[in-house]
Amino acid sequence: MIEAWQAQIKAAAAKGQKLQIAGGNTPLDSAAGAVIDTRQHTGIVEYEPNELVIVVRCGTPLADVESAMAKAGQMLAFEPPHFGEHCTIGGVVATGTSGPRRPYAGSVRDFVLGTKIIDGKGDHLSFGGKVMKNVAGFDVSRLLTGSMGTLGVITEISFKCLPLPKAQATRVFDFNATDAIEKMNRWYAEANPITATTWVDGKLYVRLAGAEPAVNTAVQKLGGESLANDTAWWADWREQKHSFFERDVPLHRMSCKSTAAPLDEAVQAIDWGGAQRWVRAPLADAAKTRYWAKRHGGYATANAAGSRSSFSTDGLDAALLDTHAKIKQSFDPYGVFHGL
Amino acid sequence: MNLTFERPTETSVATTVEALRKDFGDRAVTTHAIREQHSHGEGLQDAGMPDVVVFPETNEEVASIVKLCNQARIPVIAFGTGTSLEGHLKALYGGVCIDMSRMTKVLETNTEDLDCRVQAGVTREQLNTEIRHTGLFFPIDPGANASIGGMSATRASGTNAVRYGTMRENILGLTVVTPDGRIIRTGTRARKSSAGYDLTRLYIGSEGTLGIITEIQLKLYGVPERISAAVCQFDGLSNAVNTVITAMQMSIPMARIELLDAVQMDACMKYSKLEGFAAKPTLFMEFHGTDAYVAEQIEQMKAITADYGGSDYRFADKQEDRSKLWKARHDAYWAGMAYCPGKQAFATDSCVPISRLSDCIAAAKAEVDKSGLVCMIVGHVGDGNFHVQITFDPNDKDERARADKVAERIAHIAIEMGGTCTGEHGIGIHKLDALKVEHGEAVDVMRTIKKALDPNNIMNPGKTIPMT
- pLDDT of B111 > 50? The answer is yes
pLDDT, mean of residues A25-37: 87
- Biggest CA–CA distance in chain A, Å, is 66
All residues of chain B having their beta carbon less than 8 Å from the beta carbon of residue A185 are 112-114
pLDDT-derived band of residue A306, with 50, 70 and 90 as boundaries?
very low
Neighbours of B199 (CB within 10 A): 26
- pLDDT of A147 > 70? The answer is yes
Contact B190 A109 (CB under 8 A): no
Helices (H) and strands (E) in chain B, counts: 17, 19
Nearest CB among B196, B385, B444 relative to A316 is that of B196
Which CATH topology does B340-425 take?
A: Alpha-Beta Plaits (3.30.70)
All residues of chain B having their beta carbon less than 8 Å from the beta carbon of residue A136 are 420-422, 427, 431, 434-435, 438-439
pLDDT at A285: 76
Q: What is the DSSP string of B186-206?
A: EE-SSSS--SS--HHHHHTTS
The three-state secondary structure class of B275 is: coil
Q: What is the DSSP string of B217-239?
A: EEE-EEPPSEEEEEEEE-SSHHH
Count of positions (residues) in chain A = 340
Segment A325-337, tens digit of pLDDT = 999 999 999 999 9
Q: Which residue has the higher pLDDT, B28 or B190?
A: B28
Contact A142 B168 (CB under 8 A): yes
**CATH architecture, range B226-334:** 2-Layer Sandwich (3.30)
* Percentage of residues in chain B having pLDDT higher than 90: 88
All residues of chain B having their beta carbon less than 8 Å from the beta carbon of residue A135 are 154-155, 205, 420, 422-427
pLDDT at A252: 85
pLDDT at A88: 97
Nearest CB among A48, A136, A296 relative to B439 is that of A136
pLDDT at B194: 60
B196 close to A324: Cβ distance less than 8 angstroms:
yes
Checking phi first, is residue B106 left (phi over 0); if not, alpha (psi -120 to 50) or beta? beta
- pLDDT of A253 > 90? The answer is no
Nearest CB among A107, A272, A330 relative to B452 is that of A330
Q: What is the DSSP string of B305-360?
A: HHHTT----EEE-SHHHHHHHHHHHHTHHHHHHHHSTT-EEEE-BEE--GGGHHHH
pLDDT-derived band of residue B229, with 50, 70 and 90 as boundaries?
very high
Alpha-carbon distance of A230 to A250, in angstroms, equals 27
- pLDDT of A123 > 60? The answer is yes
Contact B191 A188 (CB under 8 A): no
Count of positions (residues) in chain B = 468
Alpha-carbon distance of A277 to A295, in angstroms, equals 14
All residues of chain B having their beta carbon less than 8 Å from the beta carbon of residue A50 are 245, 249, 354-355
Contact A133 B157 (CB under 8 A): yes
- For the ranges A105-119, B16-30, B189-203, B391-405, the lowest mean pLDDT is seen at B189-203
pLDDT, mean of residues A27-50: 92
All residues of chain A having their beta carbon less than 8 Å from the beta carbon of residue B202 are 138-140, 142-143, 327
Give the E-state strand segments of A129-249 in sequence order: 152-160, 162-163, 167-174, 194-200, 203-210, 225-226
Q: Which residues are B118's β-sheet partners?
A: B106, B216
Among candidate residues A232, A16, A9, the one with its CA nearest the CA of residue A123: A9
All residues of chain A having their beta carbon less than 8 Å from the beta carbon of residue B191 are 102-103, 255, 258, 272, 275
Alpha-carbon distance of A237 to A306, in angstroms, equals 12
All residues of chain A having their beta carbon less than 8 Å from the beta carbon of residue B186 are 320
User: Going by DSSP bridges, is the β-strand pair B96-99/B52-54 parallel, antiparallel, or unpaired?
Assistant: parallel
C-alpha distance from A300 to closest chain B C-alpha (Å) = 9
Give the E-state strand segments of A175-255 in sequence order: 194-200, 203-210, 225-226, 251-255
Nearest CB among A51, A109, A329 relative to B354 is that of A51
pLDDT-derived band of residue A309, with 50, 70 and 90 as boundaries?
low
- For the ranges A305-314, B13-22, B174-183, B321-330, the lowest mean pLDDT is seen at A305-314
- Could you tell me the residue ranges of all domains in chain A? 2-163, 167-302
pLDDT, mean of residues B380-398: 94
pLDDT, mean of residues B357-361: 94
3 state SS for B21-75: HHHHHHHEECCHHHHHHCCCCCCCCCCCCCCEEECCCCHHHHHHHHHHHHHHCCC
Nearest CB among B135, B184, B452 relative to A329 is that of B452
Among candidate residues A187, A243, A327, the one with its CA nearest the CA of residue B202: A327
Alpha-carbon distance of B84 to A3, in angstroms, equals 42
* Percentage of residues in chain A having pLDDT higher than 70: 98
Query: Considering only alpha carbons, which residue of chain A is nearest residue B427?
Result: A136
pLDDT-derived band of residue B251, with 50, 70 and 90 as boundaries?
confident
B106-222 to CATH, choices 3.40.50.300, 3.30.465.10, 3.40.50.1370, 2.60.200.20? 3.30.465.10
pLDDT-derived band of residue B250, with 50, 70 and 90 as boundaries?
confident
A339 close to A323: Cβ distance less than 8 angstroms:
no
**CATH architecture, range A2-163:** 2-Layer Sandwich (3.30)
- pLDDT of A259 > 50? The answer is yes
Checking phi first, is residue B105 left (phi over 0); if not, alpha (psi -120 to 50) or beta? beta
pLDDT at A302: 67
pLDDT-derived band of residue B46, with 50, 70 and 90 as boundaries?
low
Alpha-carbon distance of B424 to B347, in angstroms, equals 11
pLDDT, mean of residues B201-220: 97
Give start-end residues of each CATH 3.30.70.2740 domain in chain B: 340-425
pLDDT-derived band of residue B42, with 50, 70 and 90 as boundaries?
confident
Neighbours of A213 (CB within 10 A): 16
Segment A168-210, tens digit of pLDDT = 999 999 999 999 999 999 999 888 899 999 999 999 999 999 8
User: Going by DSSP bridges, is the β-strand pair A112-119/A124-128 parallel, antiparallel, or unpaired?
Assistant: antiparallel
pLDDT at A310: 73
Q: Which residues are A171's β-sheet partners?
A: A206, A226
pLDDT at B249: 84
Among candidate residues A154, A27, A22, A148, the one with its CA nearest the CA of residue A90: A154
pTM, entire model: 0.94
What's at B124, amino acid-wise?
R
The dihedral formed by the CA atoms of B17, B22, B24 and B28, expressed in degrees to the nearest 10: 30
Contact A110 B169 (CB under 8 A): yes
> How wide is the angle at C-alpha A61 spanned by C-alphas A59 and A66, nearest 5°?
130
Counted across chains A and B, CB pairs separated by less than 8 A come out at: 260
B327 close to B250: Cβ distance less than 8 angstroms:
no
B217 close to A326: Cβ distance less than 8 angstroms:
no
Q: Which residues are B53's β-sheet partners?
A: B29, B97
Give start-end residues of each CATH 3.30.465.10 domain in chain B: 106-222
Alpha-carbon distance of B261 to B255, in angstroms, equals 20
- Biggest CA–CA distance in chain B, Å, is 69
What's at B338, amino acid-wise?
A
- pLDDT of A307 > 80? The answer is no
pLDDT at B168: 94
pLDDT at A303: 61
Among candidate residues A237, A259, A130, the one with its CA nearest the CA of residue A188: A259
Nearest CB among B154, B197, B441 relative to A147 is that of B197
pLDDT at B388: 96
pLDDT at A316: 84
